[in-house]
Structure 1
Amino acid sequence: FCTNLNIDFLTVRLYAGLWVLVISIITVAVDGSRMLRYVTRFTEDIFASLISVIFIAESLRFLYQTFIHNPVANFEFYRHIRQKCELNAFNGERNDSQMMSICNGEPNTALLTTFIMISTFALAYGLRLLRQSYYLGRTLRRALGDFGVLIAIAVVASVAHLLVPDPYLQRLEVPDHFSFTNIEARQHGLFVSAYLPLNQLWVIIVAIVAALLVFILLFVETEITELLLSRKDRCLVKGSGLHWDLLLMGACTLLCSIFGLPWMCAAAVQSLAHCSSLSVPKKTAPGERPGVDYVLEQRVTTIGVSLLMGLFAFGGSYLRLPLASLFGVFLYLGVMNLTGVQFVQRIILFFIPGKYFPDTPYTESVDIRRMHLYTAIQIICLIIIYAVKYFKRTALAFPFILMLFILLRQFFLKKIFTEKELKALDGDDETNNENGWLEKDFFEDAPYLYKEYLVIFSITTMIIYQ
C-alpha cells in the first residue's frame, strides 16, 4: 500500500501507533474489557492450541528446510553436485535457487540438526518428568525441573561441540554492535519523523483503519492470555490487570512506533510457562494427583529476564548457539502448552473406548456422539484459523476470525447443543478427575515410566549418532 502510493511506511506506522493508544484509552475508559465475558473455554482452548500448533509447526518446518538445503546422501551425490555447481558457476548459470542452496549444503548437517533439536526437547521434557518423580531430593528435583530448558540448551550444545568441534550448522547470529538493520531503507534517524506533505495529510485518517486492525489483534492476544492465566486451577491470588495491561500495550505500541521498533504483544506460551515455573506443588501422598499449592507472584523474574536479554545482546555473538537448540525449546514450549487443555483431552477420547472414559462433567453429562461433534467443530475452527494465520494474504483477518468464533459460540452452538451440554463442555467448573486425568498413570508409576523414557531416549540418540 505504502509502496504503491509512494508514502513513507514508518511515518504511517507512527500515526497508526498513535491511534492504537487513543483506541486503547477509549476502550479502557468505557470498560471494554468486560466483553471478555463472552470469551468462553471454547475460544480459549482454540487459541491456546493454535499457539502450540504454530510453535510445533515452525520447529518442524525448520527441520524440513534443513533437510531440503542439506540432503542426506552419499559421497557420490555430493561430488556430482559440486561438479555441477562448479560447471554452472563457470558458465554463469545462477538462476536455480534450489540448486544454489544444495551447492552450499553439507551431508551431515541435517542429521546433526535433528540430533540437537530432538535432544534439546527430550532433555528439557525429561527434566520436567524428573520434577514429578521420586528420584533425588525434592529440592534438587525442583531445581532441575525449573532450569530444565537452560540445562538442556547448555548440555546439548556442549555435547554437539565435543562430538563435532566445528560443525556446519545454522547459528543464532547476533551483531557485535548496535546499529539500524538497514539505514538506507529506514530513511529516519533514531526517532521516526511525523512530517507529511500537505497532499498526504489524509494518511493520518487512513491510519485509523490500520490501527483498528492492530488494536483488535492486541486486544485478543493480551486479554485471552490474561484469561488463560486467571483460571482457578492456576491458583493466582493477585487480580489480573485487564484494563492496565491493555493501556500499557497501547503505550508500548506508540513508543515502538516512535523509535521504529517492532510492535509487541502478550506472549501466551511464554506467560503460561513462566506461571508454571513459579507454581509450587502441594505435598501429596504417593499416588495422589498433585496440584498447585500457590504461585510465587512477583516481578523479580520478569525483570531478570529482561536484563538477561539485554546482556545477551552484548555477548550473543560469542555464544553462537545452534538454531536447532532454540527450535527444540520452541517444540518443548508448544507441547507443554497443550498440557491440561480440555480440547486436547477430548481429541484423545476419539481413540479411547467409552468404558475407559474418565469421570468428568463432559463424559458423564453429554452423549459420546454429541461430545465428539463439539470437539470436531473445534478442530475445524482450529484448522481454519491456522490456515488464515499461515498465508500472508489472509493473516490480517486473524483477529476477525477469532471474533467470529466468539459469535459462533454465543449464537450458533446454542442452537445445536442444550444449555446443560454447553455447561459441561464449555463451563469453568472442574472436578478432581478433570484437567489431570491424563497424568494419573504417570504419577502412580513415575519411576518406571521415567526409566523407560531414558531407555527410549538413549536408543534414539545412538541410532541418530550412528
Structure 2
Amino acid sequence: MHDCQSLSLVEMSNASLGNNTAVLEKTSSANDGAQIQLVYNKSEHIPLKDFAAEIRGGKDIKEFLLSALVLLDVQDTSIWDLLEIILRRIKQTSVPHNGGASSTQSSSLPTATTTMISNTVISSGSSGHRENLNIDEIKQALFVNDRVRILAKTLQATTATETNWTYDQSWLAIMCTSPSIVKRHVAIARLKNPCNLGRNCQEARFIVFILSPMKEKGTKNFLETGRTFATIFADIELRAKLLKATTQQEFISIIDKHTDNLMEQQTSTARNSFIDPFDDNTNSSELLKVKTYYCPILSDICLDFSRRLPHYLSDYYDIFKTHRGSNKVISTAVFLYFACLLPSIAFGVLNSQVTNDQISVSKAVASQCLGGLFFSIFAGQPLIVVMTTAPLTLYVKVISILCAWYRTDFRDTYALVGLWNSFFLILFSFFGVSKVMKWSTRSTEEIFALFVSIAFLVDASAHVYQNFAWNYSTTACKQYDEYWKLRRMNKTIPTNLTGDVLEEPCSRDSSLLYLLLTLGTVWLGTFLYKFKQTPYLTSAKRELLADYALPVAVIIMSLIGSLLFNKINLQSFPVDHENIFVLVRFKNVTLKQILATGGLGFSLSLLMFLDQNIAGAIVNSPANKLKKGKAFHIDLFVIAILNGWLSLFGLTWMHGALPLSPLHVKALADTEERVEQGHIQSVIVKVRETRLTVLLSHIFIGLSLFMRDILKQIPMPVLDGLFLYLALTSLDGNQFFERVTLFFTEQAAYPPNHYIRQVPQRKIHLFTFFQVLQLLILCFLGFSPILYTKLVLPIWLVAMVAFRYRILPKLIPLKYLRSLDQRL
C-alpha cells in the first residue's frame, strides 16, 4: 500500500502551429523507500504571437534586448548548473530600471563566454530598491520538487505536417514565478554543444529563461512574455543565424532585425498551410503581380513569368549575402562539375557504342555544357539540374536499332524525333498541362526516383560484369589455369598450350582493380558525405569535407588508379577530336519518315514531361522551404527549345535529372539535426536559391573539352563508382525505400515515422507491396531486351497515377492512404 506524501503542479505549454500541451503532474512516495511519481499530461493549444496585431510583443522584445543577460557558448550540460549560474548573475546585477538607460558590463564565467549588454532588467514597479531574489525558492519553483528534476513551466514549439507533428527540440523556453521576484527578467543562453533536457528536448542549443512576478498584468505575465520569445525562436532560420553569431552585438542584432521583419510580414493566415506546388492560386500576392504580365493565351507561362521575374537579378548576387554563401557557391559548383561531367562521359560512352560514334563522348560533354548554361540562364527554377539520363540513353538505343532495321539515316531520324518532341513539349507548356501533375503523389514520384537509382546501379554493375568477362573469365585465363595446374602436377604440357599462354596474356589483376576502384569510390564518397554525423574534427571542417565528398572521392581514386597502379591496364573512355557542331541536313527525309517519327517524338515528350515535372516537384517541395516561387510551365518551355536546338546538331537530349536536382538543393541548404526517439532526422533550414552554381560548373565543363587528354586519365571504374554514389545518396528521405527495409527490420527497431504510428502494419506492408510491384513493371519496361517495351515506359508512368486513384483506394482505406501517400 502506498502513502501519498505530496502533490505538485507543473504547467508545460507548447507554442506550436497546431498542437500544444499543458501538463499537470502528481508525485507520491512509497513506504518501502522507493519514490514513485505520477505525471498527468494535458494538451493545450497556445497560438503564436501576432506581432502585427499585438503591440506588446514587439515592445517587449525591443525593451528586453536592451537589458537581457546573454550567455554564448555555454559548456555546462546540466540544466541545474546552468540555471544556478543564470540566477546568481541576475541576483548580483539586478538594479532598478532607470529611465531606459543601461549600463554595460562585461564578465566571464568558467563555463561560458558571457556577455552582459545591460544587467538591469525591466521592473514591474517603481521601487528603487535592489531586488532580493531567493535562489532556493526560485529553483524549487522551476522544478516539480527537489527529487523530480522535471521543469515546471516550459514553452516549446511543435512542427506540423499533413500527417504528423514533432517537437522542435533545438530550443526551450523556461518560465518561473516566485514571491521573491518583483520584476521581469530574461536570459538567453546558447549552448556550445547540444544538451539533453528531457524526452521532448534531447538536443537543445538555445535556452530562454524568463522570471516573472506572481502578480503581473495579463499582457505581461510569464506566459505572455514566454510566448513572445517562443514565437521568435520558433523560426528555424533565425536559430540557424544565431548559431553562427560570434559576438553579443551580432546575436542581439539578428533578433532585432528578425522582430522588425516579423512585424512587417506577419499576417493572421496559418503558417502551416500546405501548398500544392502545381497550384497557381495559392498566394494572393502573386495574383496581384500576374495582372502586370497577364497574357490570356499563355496564362500559365505568364503566371510563372510574373512569379520569377522579380527575383531574376537577385538569383545572381543574393547568395553572397548569406552566411558562408561564397563557400557554398564554390563547393556546390565543384560538386556539380564532377556530378554532371562524369555521368555525361559515361552516358556518352554508351551512346557512342549504340550509335557507332555518331553521338560521341565529346558531343555528350558539349551538350551538357550548352544545355546547363542555357537552362541556368533562361529557366524559371535554376535549382533544377538538366542532363541526359538513363531512360534517354535507352531511347537513343531504340532509335538506333530502328534506323538499322529500316535503313534510314540515324542523324536525320534522331533530329526529327527531337523536333517532334519539342513541338509537343511547347504545346504542353502553352496549355498548362503540367497542372495534371498535381495528381501525382509521393508514391509515384518516389517509385520513379528509385527506378533512376536502380538504372545507375544496373549500368555500373553491367560495366563491372563486362570487364570481368573481358579480362577475368577469358579463354587465355582458363589456359593459364590449366597450364599451372599441369606444372604443379609435374605432367607433360602440350606445346600448343605453352604457345597460347605465351601469346595471350591473362589480365585478372585488371578486373580486381576495376572492382576495387569502383567500390572504393562509392565508399569514400558516402563516408565523406556522412562525415557531418561523426564527432571528428570541428563542425566547420566536417561540413567542408561533406561539401566536397564527391570531388575528393573522384580525384583520390583516379590518382590511385592512374599513378599507383599505372602498370595495370585499366579501361578508359575514348575521346575523339571530331567537329562537334555539324548541322543535320535532312537530305533523304521522306514524308513517311516524318510522320513515323511523330509517334516516337510523342512518346519521348511524355517521358520528358514526366521526368521534368517530377524533378521540379521534388525540388519545389515545401520541405525545401524555397521562397522565390515555382515555374513548371516556363521550365518545360525552356526544355522544349533546348532539345529542339540540340537535335539539329545531333547532340544528346536532356531534362531535369534525378537524383542530381534534389542533391543540388541539399548542397545549397543549411540543415538542422533533430532527434526523435533515438532516430536522427535532418531538416532543411533554408536553401540558397541561385543560378551561379549551375552556371559556373557548366562553364568549367565546357573548358574540359580542351583537357581531353587529362580526362582520359580518369579510369572507367571511377565513373561507375560515381553512378553508385549518386544511387545511394539519392535514397536519403525516400519513404518508399524506408518502407521496403521494414520487411527486413525487427519491429522493435521501426523508426517513429508518422505512418508507423497512424497506419496498421499490414496496411503499410500492403501499400509497399503494390509500390514494389509497380517498380518491377517499370524496371521490366526499362531494362527488357524487347525493343518496344521501352516505348511503353512513359505510358506506364501515367497508368501508375490512375492506379493510385482508381484501384488503390478500394484496397486500402483513404485515411491510411493520406498518411502513406501525401504530396511531397
Give TM-score scaled by structure 2 length: 0.46
Percent identity of paired positions between Structure 1 and Structure 2: 26
CA gap of 1:284–1:376, structure 2 versus 1, over 3 A, is closer
Structure 1 segment 297-308 matched on structure 2, within 5 A: 297-308=689-700
Matched, 1:179 2:579: yes
Q: How does 1:30-429 map to 2 (within 5 A)?
A: 30-71=431-472, 76-77=480-481, 105-175=506-576, 177-179=577-579, 190-196=582-588, 200-282=590-672, 289-319=681-711, 320-392=713-785, 393=787, 394-428=789-823
The CA deviation at 1:139 is: 2.2
Greater relative contact order (CA < 8 Å, ≥ 6 in sequence): 1
User: CA separation in 2, counterparts of 1:85 and 1:409?
Assistant: 65
Cα shift readout 1:60-107 (whole Å, capped 9, x = no counterpart): 2222222222217699328689966966999xxxxxxxxxxxx56512
CA contact (8 A) 2:562 2:714 kept: no
Deviation by residue 1:411-442 (Cα, 9 ceiling, x = unmatched): 1101111110110110148xxxxxxxxxxxxx
Residue pair 1:222, 1:266 contacting (<8 A) in 2 also = yes
Quick one: structure 1 residues 207 and 135, their matched pair in 2 at CA, closer, same or farther if it must change by over 3 Å?
same
Moved more, 372-381 or 105-114: 105-114
1:135 CA drift (Å): 1.8
Please give the alpha-carbon distance, in whole angstroms, between the structure 2 residues aligned to 1:165 and 1:88. 23
Q: Distance in 2 between matches of 1:11 and 1:21?
A: 15
Return the letter of the residue paired with 1:107: R
Contact 1:69–1:105, Cα closer than 8 Å, also in 2: no
Cα distance, 1:290–1:18 mapped onto 2, change above 3 Å: closer
Higher percent of residues as strand: 2
User: Counterpart of 2:549 in structure 1: which amino acid?
Assistant: G
* Contact kept in structure 2, 1:388 and 1:397, CA below 8 Å: yes
Alpha-carbon spacing, 1:298–1:354, altered in 2? closer, same or farther (3 Å): same
Moved more, 307-316 or 77-86: 77-86
Q: In the alignment, residue 407 of structure 1 is paired with which amino acid?
A: A
- CA gap of 1:365–1:201, structure 2 versus 1, over 3 A, is same
Q: Is the CA contact (8 Å cut-off) linking 1:221 and 1:266 kept in structure 2?
A: yes
Q: Quick one: distance in 1 between partners of 2:670 and 2:500?
A: 63
Q: CA deviation at 1:6?
A: 4.6
Q: Which amino acid aligns with 2:808?
A: L
- Give the match's secondary structure for 1:166: coil
Distance 1:41 1:283, change over 3 A: closer
Give 3-state SS (helix, strand or coil) of 1:282's partner: strand
Is 1:10 aligned to residue 402 of structure 2? no
Paired residue for 1:448? Answer: none
In structure 2, relative to structure 1, the CA distance for the partners of 1:422 and 1:153 (3 Å cut) is same
Mark the runs of 5 or more structure 1 residues left unpaired by the alignment. 91-102, 181-188, 430-466
Once the two structures are superposed, residues 18-58 of structure 1 have per-residue CA deviations (whole angstroms, 9 ceiling, x without a partner) of: 33222222211211000001110110110011111111222
| Alpha carbons of structure 1 residues 87 and 257: separation in structure 2 relative to 1, 3 Å | same
Give secondary structure in 1 for the equivalent of 2:719.
helix
Where 1:170 maps in the other structure, the secondary structure is coil
SS in 2 for 1:48: helix
When residues 3 and 329 of structure 1 are mapped into structure 2, their CA distance, relative to the original with a 3 A threshold, is closer
SS at 2:508 equivalent: coil
Residue 410 of structure 1 and its aligned partner are, at CA, apart by 1.3
Q: Distance in 2 between matches of 1:362 and 1:153?
A: 38
Q: Could you tell me which amino acid in structure 2 is paired with residue 239 of structure 1?
A: G
Cα–Cα, structure 1 residues 59 and 256, in superposed 2: closer, same or farther, change >3 Å? same
1:74/1:107 contact within 8 Å kept: no
Question: How far apart, CA to CA, are the structure 2 residues paired with 1:235 and 1:157?
Answer: 37
| Whole-Å separation in 1 of the counterparts to 2:579 and 2:719 | 24
Deviations 1:274-300 (A, max 9, x none): 222111223779987442211121111
CA-to-partner distance for each residue in 1:238-271, whole Å, 9 max, x for gaps? 3232111111111112111211212222211221
- C-alpha contact 1:173 1:317 (8 A) present in aligned 2: no
**1:304 shift after superposition:** 1.8
**CA shift in 2, pair 1:193/1:76, >3 Å:** closer
Relative distance call for 1:366 and 1:289 in structure 2 (3 A) is closer
How far apart are 1:325 and its partner, in Å? 0.9
Q: Specify whether residues 4 and 169 from structure 1 end up closer, same or farther in structure 2 by C-alpha distance, changes over 3 A only.
A: closer
Q: 1:359 to 1:107 in 2, by over 3 A?
A: closer
Query: How many positions carry a matched residue from both structures?
Result: 406
Give the CA deviation at 1:131: 2.2
Aligned residue type for 1:247: F
Note closer, same or farther for the CA distance 1:88–1:14 as it changes in structure 2 (3 Å cut).
same
Do the aligned residues in 2 keep the contact of 1:338 with 1:344 (CA within 8 Å)?
A: yes
Greater CA deviation, 41-50 or 157-166?
A: 157-166
Amino acid at match of 2:795: F
Q: What is the distance in 2 between the residues matched to 1:313 and 1:106? A: 31
SS at match of 2:558: helix
Stretch deviating more after TM superposition (273-282 or 26-35): 273-282
Higher share of residues assigned helix: 1
Contact between 2:663 and 2:730, CA under 8 Å: does it hold in 1? yes
The one-letter code of the counterpart of 1:399 is P
CA 1:206–1:173 in structure 2 vs 1: closer, same or farther (change >3 Å)?
closer
User: 2: CA distance between counterparts of 1:110 and 1:4?
Assistant: 35
TM-score (norm 1): 0.80
Mapped partners of 1:343, 1:364: distance in 2? 16
Deviations, residues 366-404 of structure 1 (Å, cap 9, x unaligned):
221111011011111111111110124111111111111
Q: Which secondary structure does the structure 2 equivalent of 1:280 belong to?
A: strand
* Matches of 1:331 and 1:82, distance apart in 2: 46
